[in-house]
Structure 1
Amino acid sequence: MFYIGNHLSASKGFAAMGRKEVELGGNTFAFFTRNPRGGKAKAIDEKDIEKFLTYAKEHNFGKLVAHAPYTMNLCAAKEDVRRFSKEMFFDDMKRMEYVPGNYYNFHPGSHVGQGVEKGIELIAETLNEALTAEQSTIVLLETMAGKGSEVGRNFEELREIIDRVVLSEKVGVCFDTCHTWDGGYDIVNDLDGVLTEFDRVIGLDRLCAVHFNDSMNLLGAHKDRHQKIGQGEIGAEAMKRIACHPALQGKPFILETPNEDDGYAKEIALIQSWVE
């Protein structure tokens, strides 16, 4: 089964998101747990979630990929920012259990001059405080493009975070194609080599989801600018190879391309035509 979807607005609830994704032709989706710029999360509507869970089962949905707000920085240099970020993370871990067994993806953070080692230490510290053996949610560290002081600019940095987490079985990776390409991994000319390297450093068993985006930038630009599928520097043929790669089958593929609904519907149909 191939699972494809896009980011949806959670403002109208889970049942509405499920129906919307089916209208677009998808069978999974991503959503922000709260405003992408941070702030208080919307109250949980358990009846709405119950409706969604029934609907998702009827329509063979894959795992959802929730996304933390962009303002969450677990390794911020400023203590107040770090405290605010940790509060969001702890709250989101509780909220995710209302839709059990899904993924919670986040950008590892930016060390803001403290150094990568300190950044990794602070990220792992929060994970060790927040993760529990009982939770069903798997937390995903996202591969990053390496702009500024981002942590997670290469597979080794993600591995270092994972190695410091006691409940590391609760941690996986979201493989963002644009970020990975912008970070210097040549998924156009050496996809097998990149996935082999990922397996060597992190392990393909930890690659849980794919953010499926073309890139406006050249290989190794470290800029992170997403493009529509087939209209960027990665290109349609390479994107097709990624979608069809045996090592990635069964993972949720999430589009984060600069589109409106009609554009997402076209991309979903295109990608499904590749994998049929």
Structure 2
Amino acid sequence: MRIGAHVDPADPLAEAAARKADVVQFFLADPQGWKNPLPRADAQALKDSDLQVFIHAPYIVNVASPNNRIRIPSRKLMQVHAEAAATVGASGLIVHGGHVDKGDLADGFANWRKALEQHKDTGVPILIENTAGGDNACARKFDALAQLWDTVGDLNVGFCLDTCHAHAGGEDLLNIVDRVKAITGRIDLVHANGSKDGFDSGRDRHDNLFGGGSPGTLDAELVAAVVRAAGAPVVVETPGGADGQGADIAYLRAHL
């Protein structure tokens, strides 16, 4: 099982080495901005390395939004990030499930389908990630996730399971892999994160699993059990830099 971390994009190869990681995930542009990614000098080196690479789309991407000024730029940004992800040999582009604010969730699901139907295949699959907050989120509660998958599941879209988001979003981690696979049929990536906040808090604040930070509210052994059951590549998005993330990676390896 390949385990790694979300790292600074300046030098992912060096960051992976510092954490003894098999996998790296990073942003290709400002996660809070609308700018397109720039070509990377290390693109070929990343493709040629033994690392498995995942790219995270900017947080502001919300293809479910009923607001044209958000939804349409989000579709374009998802496309250009997928194209850029292909240049580094990425195994997937992670995109948050999004939300519809006070609108109808059914419209959000339909907007996701339109976005995926218009998306030009780059060889890098889109991996929808469950989210922690929002009452009108498309992928926070699993009943909504099931409706989303009924709408888009035939479009070869993948799924990224985040343990912090599930816990903070009100979904128990016990048997969560079976519940997710009953909906999506797949888990392509696990974000193995602790949580600083309690169950169903709606707050997306990651914590370390072991060592590198303060003890959170999420049992590290339960996160390890999720990783073990999922059998997918793993990324920790935890605090503490190389030391904190390295300890989390080592903990997961020791418990698999």
Aligned to 1:7: 6
Aligned to 1:268: 249
**1:87-145 deviations in whole A, cap 9, x for unaligned?**
2112112222223461111112120111211111112211111143xx32111111122
What residue identity is the alignment partner of 1:145?
A: A
Alignment check: 8 A CA contact 2:130 2:139 kept: yes
What residue identity is the alignment partner of 1:86?
A: R
How many residue pairs are counted as aligned between the two chains? 252
Aligned to 1:74: 63
Identity %: 25
Q: Distance between the aligned counterparts of 2:153 and 2:221, measured in 1?
A: 40
Aligned to 1:123: 112
1:237 is matched with which residue: 208, 217, 221?
A: 221
Quote how far apart the aligned CAs of 1:85 are.
Answer: 1.2
What residue identity is the alignment partner of 1:5?
A: G
1:126-137 to structure 2, matched below 5 A, reads 126-132=115-121, 135-137=122-124
Q: Distance between the aligned counterparts of 1:184 and 1:78, measured in 2?
A: 27
Q: Distance between the aligned counterparts of 2:110 and 2:225, measured in 1?
A: 36
What's the secondary structure of 2:188's corresponding residue?
strand
Quote how far apart the aligned CAs of 1:217 are.
Answer: 2.3
1:37 is matched with which residue: 28, 32, 36?
A: 32
Aligned to 1:138: 125
1:259 aligned to 2:246?
A: no
Aligned to 1:197: 179
* TM-score (norm: length of structure 1): 0.83
Return structure 1 stretches of 4+ with deviation > 3 angstroms. none
Aligned to 1:55: 49
Aligned CA-pair RMSD? 2.1
Q: Distance between the aligned counterparts of 1:199 and 1:262, measured in 2?
A: 33
Aligned to 1:184: 170
Please, which runs of 5 or more residues in structure 2 have no aligned partner? none
Q: Do the aligned partners of residues 268 and 234 (structure 1) sit closer, same or farther apart at CA in structure 2, a change above 3 Å counting? A: same
Quote how far apart the aligned CAs of 1:227 are.
Answer: 1.5
Q: Distance between the aligned counterparts of 2:82 and 2:44, measured in 1?
A: 19
Quote how far apart the aligned CAs of 1:148 are.
Answer: 4.2
Please, which runs of 5 or more residues in structure 1 have no aligned partner? none
Aligned to 1:225: 205
Alignment check: 8 A CA contact 2:5 2:245 kept: yes
* TM-score (norm: length of structure 2): 0.89
